[in-house]
Amino acid sequence: MERACVQDPPCVSRWAMSTWAAVFDWDGVILDSSAAHERAWERLAAEEGRVLFPGFFLRSFGMKNDRVIRELLAWTQDPAEIERLSSRKEELFREEIRHRPVQPLPGVRAFLESLQRAGVPCGVGSSTPRANIECVLDPLGLRGFFRVIVTGEDVQRGKPDPEVFLRVAERLGIAPARCVVFEDAPVGIEAARRAGMKVVGVAGTHPAERLSNCDRVVRRLDELGVGELAGWFEGPVGTSD
C-alpha cells in the first residue's frame, strides 16, 4: 500500500504553489522499466552478434540511443545504421513490456495526485521515445497528470544537454528557475542543473551517493510534501519568455 504524502502546511496557498512546475524524467522516476530496457539491449546485441561490456547498462541509462550506439558501444557511425539499431532496440523494449507489464513506482501516484490538487503544472522530459511512454500512459492511468510530454524525438541534443528540460518549461510557460526536476540518473541531474532548475534525485537505478549536486535525494516521491517544494520558490514569480 502506498504511503500518504507528507501533509502540506495550511499557510501555503494554492496560488503560491501553482507558480512553479514539476518536471519528471520517466524511466526510473515514474516507473521502473530498467529490466525491460536491459533485456532489450541484450536481445539486440544477440541479434547483431555483439557482446555488451560489463557495466554497460548503468553507464547508458538516461542517454539517447543514438549516442549509446555511436559513442558508448561504438558499433557504427553510419546514421542510417544507427537509426535502424535504435528503432529495433525500442521495438524489443515494447515487446518486453507487453509480456511483462510495468507499474508506477511506489509513491508516484500519491505524489502526482498531491501536485494535481495543488494546481502545480507537471511535465515529462525524457530521452525515452514517445511511443514507449504513450503505450503505458492510458493503461496505468497516468495521462491526466501531465500537461506536457517532451521526448527524445522533440530535441536535437540529449542529456546532459538541458534542451529537453528547457523545452518542457517553455511549453508549460514557467521560467526554468521556477521548475524542479525529478531525476534518477547523473546525466539527467547535470542537464537539470545546466537548465538552471532545482533537482530532486530519486535513488533507485543509481545509489544515493551517485546523485550528487541535488537539492534533495529521496527513495520515493511521496517522501516529499508539496508545501516543502513550494517553499523553494518563494519570491518574485516569473514565466518563460
The alpha-helical segments, DSSP class H, found in the chain are: 14-17, 34-48, 56-60, 65-67, 79-99, 108-117, 130-137, 163-172, 186-194, 226-230
Query: Among 3, 231, 238, 225, which residue's Cα sits nearest to residue 115?
Result: 225
Q: Write the DSSP symbol of residue 27.
A: B
Provide the grid cell at 222: 511521496
127 within 8 A of 152, measured Cβ to Cβ: yes
Provide the grid cell at 217: 535525494
> Alpha-carbon distance 114 to 31, whole Å?
18
3 within 8 A of 114, measured Cβ to Cβ: no
The residues near 98 (Cβ < 8 Å, ≥ 6 apart) are none
Active site residues: 25, 27
Amino acid at 209: E
